[in-house]
Structure 1
Amino acid sequence: METLRLFELDTPYRERMTIEAYAFGPADAATSVAVVGAMRGNEVQQTYICASVVKRLQEMEREGALTGDVRVTVIPTVNSFSMNIAHRFWPMDNTDVNRMFPGYDQGETTQRIAAGLFRAIEGCTYGIQLCSFYLPGEFEPHVRVTDTGAIDLARSWELAKLFRFPYAMLKEPAPFDTTTLNYNWQVWDTYAFSLYSPKTERIDEESAAFVVDCIMRFLYGVGAVSADMPPRCATRLLRESDLVNVRTTRAGFFKRAAYVASKVRRGDVLAEILSTQDCSVLETLLSPCDGTVFFRHGPAMVNGDTIAFKIAPEK
């Protein structure tokens, strides 16, 4: 294993921020994989998953289970400064590193961080990013592929199945996606995948171990490791637009009835919205279709016009 310093930056207080990477396999390998963890200060689970991948690869290196045919570079955290002070975004201007790619080395701080990282990992064959979900709640672990039009989509779908997540999701890019790592990786001819673990701000050992196993299955599939693992589940391919959103119309206490991964039928009760004054039922959320609960709102209270559930409809 090699320890690499990809980028360094002075900070107003505390120590100098350094983006460190851990590399396995020859630097001149024809095939390369980059695994990128937390870009935001609250992505503790994502950092933990990447650190666990480093540990697993170290063990496999000692056991002779790395093929030596593929270069694997793991970057557990990109934004250690925000993580040290428990701030999700860059604290000076509240900007998001993952909205600054491909970066600009003469620009604002987060543009420089993005440029320093991207310079080190652009052009890799495969890119894996550990992301946090945009809605607060629980959801099925999954892999996402963004349809940028810059790379062979059919090949991306086949590669996504190597992870063996329950779901592989195809995402149509929004305007802001053009400045994300995933999108720019594809522009520079990298097959890019975003992995989602159900937790963010705290470590969940079970779901972290599941995602680590998925990453190792992918590394086996592309020839980086020689130790195969039996698949844990079949992968269902979905477009993000296939998911059926269930929104609230009232605000109040969120009393959940359905759970993530549970099967529901049209008309089943998913949750009730209760009054904060007397706990009377203000609204009952019903499933609009037969399917599986993909996402469920997490906090104890919910606002009106909020996505409370996402249902993966039956095929």
Structure 2
Amino acid sequence: MTKETLYTMNTAFRGEYSVYGYTYGRGEKSACIVGALRGHEFQQLYICSILSKKLARLEEEGAIVSGKQILVIPSLNYSAMNASHKYWLSDDSDINRQFPGNPSGPATSRIAYATLETAKEYLYGIQFRSFYLQGQFIPHIRMLASEKEGTNLANLFGMPYVLMSEGRPYEAVTLAYNWQMAGTEVFSIYSGGTERIHEGYAETAVSAVLRFLSRMGIIKYNCQGGYISTVMNEEKMLSIKSDEAGFFRKYVGTNEEVTRGQKLADIIDPMTGNVISTVLAPTSGIIFFVHDNPMVFQNVVIYRMIRKMHK
């Protein structure tokens, strides 16, 4: 393992700030793996730490294929993480809304530019991303529908689902989109959480990356087969929203199969303790996402379901 300083700049309040990368193997720039871009992405950083440790062991054993190089960038915003803050400390900007970046721009734009310049030199890109909803979800890979030719490669990760999305307007300023536009084959891995560490989901994500690297001939690793991934359109999932605000008592978790009319959760009046809303499954299917905060606001997504396919 070689620690490298990928970018350094001076900041107004914290002096010198550097972005670090950890390189395994030498030769063709085969795979670049990026972790936390925000200060609350503890799960994403934790996954990188496990992956780095395993790659270091594989390198010691001579299991990085000769002529192949892997780069891991664990965090772009660790100063915010140290301060328990989500975004960049000085101006509250989001690094993952600054790509492709500007070498003469604000701090986060410069970091974005330097990161992309390094990452785009690699053949494959893997980013551990945080889900836009607060809660637990089934680990999966997400790709833009325009990248559908890459689903065969996505299946090599052996994760339960590969979600194809039409994308949202903000995608144009994210790392994944600009990385893909620069010519790298990019895969976004969602690992079941963000602010809370989930050991099982973290191991699933690490195993998926090692499986992919092995199948692409970058490492020598005896991995289990994983899942035969189900490829589906994200827009076809059903969102269930809360019709009241209060304490959220769930009865069903992620990856559980439910039937139409089954009770999923209760919303409880925080003042009286009475149930003010009962959430029922509108159709049969599999729970993909569930809200996991003790409180819920009105009209927010509390469940997402994969509808059961009827023959």
What's the TM-score, normalizing by structure 2?
Answer: 0.95
User: Are residue 278 (structure 1) and residue 275 (structure 2) matched?
Assistant: no
Partner of 1:184 in structure 2?
178
Question: Secondary structure of the equivalent of 1:5?
Answer: strand
Q: Contact 1:34–1:126 at 8 Å: present in 2 too? A: yes
Residues of 2 paired with 1:220 and 1:226: CA distance? Answer: 6
Residues of 2 paired with 1:86 and 1:15: CA distance? Answer: 19
* Deviation of 1:266 (Å): 1.0
Partner of 1:109 in structure 2?
107
Partner of 1:43 in structure 2?
41
User: Are residue 245 (structure 1) and residue 243 (structure 2) matched?
Assistant: no
Counterpart mapping for 1:63-82 below 5 A: 63-82=61-80
Partner of 1:135 in structure 2?
133
* Deviation of 1:186 (Å): 1.1
* Deviation of 1:96 (Å): 0.5
Unaligned runs of 5+ residues in structure 1 are: none
Residues of 1 paired with 2:42 and 2:250: CA distance? Answer: 26
Partner of 2:154 in structure 1?
160
Residues of 2 paired with 1:312 and 1:191: CA distance? Answer: 27
Residues of 1 paired with 2:244 and 2:43: CA distance? Answer: 32
Report Cα offsets for 1:254-277 as digits up to 9, x if no partner. 111111111001111111111122
Q: Which amino acid aligns with 1:87?
A: H
User: Are residue 207 (structure 1) and residue 205 (structure 2) matched?
Assistant: no
Q: Contact 2:148–2:164 at 8 Å: present in 1 too? A: no
* Deviation of 1:15 (Å): 5.5
Report Cα offsets for 1:117-175 as digits up to 9, x if no partner. 1111113211100111111111111111123x3xx522x10111111111111121111
* Deviation of 1:14 (Å): 4.1
Question: Secondary structure of the equivalent of 2:73?
Answer: strand
Partner of 2:218 in structure 1?
224
Residues of 2 paired with 1:273 and 1:208: CA distance? Answer: 30
Q: Which amino acid aligns with 1:130?
A: F
Residues of 2 paired with 1:54 and 1:235: CA distance? Answer: 25
Q: Contact 2:25–2:59 at 8 Å: present in 1 too? A: no
Instruction: Report runs of 4+ in structure 1 exceeding 4 Å deviation.
Output: none
Q: How many residues align?
A: 309
RMSD of aligned alpha carbons: 1.4
Unaligned runs of 5+ residues in structure 2 are: none
Q: Which amino acid aligns with 2:31?
A: V
Residues of 2 paired with 1:69 and 1:144: CA distance? Answer: 29
Residue number among 288, 291, 298 corresponding to 2:285 in the alignment: 291
Partner of 2:54 in structure 1?
56
User: Are residue 2 (structure 1) and residue 6 (structure 2) matched?
Assistant: no
Question: Secondary structure of the equivalent of 1:214?
Answer: helix
Aligned-pair identity in percent equals 35
Q: Contact 1:123–1:185 at 8 Å: present in 2 too? A: no
Q: Which amino acid aligns with 1:153?
A: K
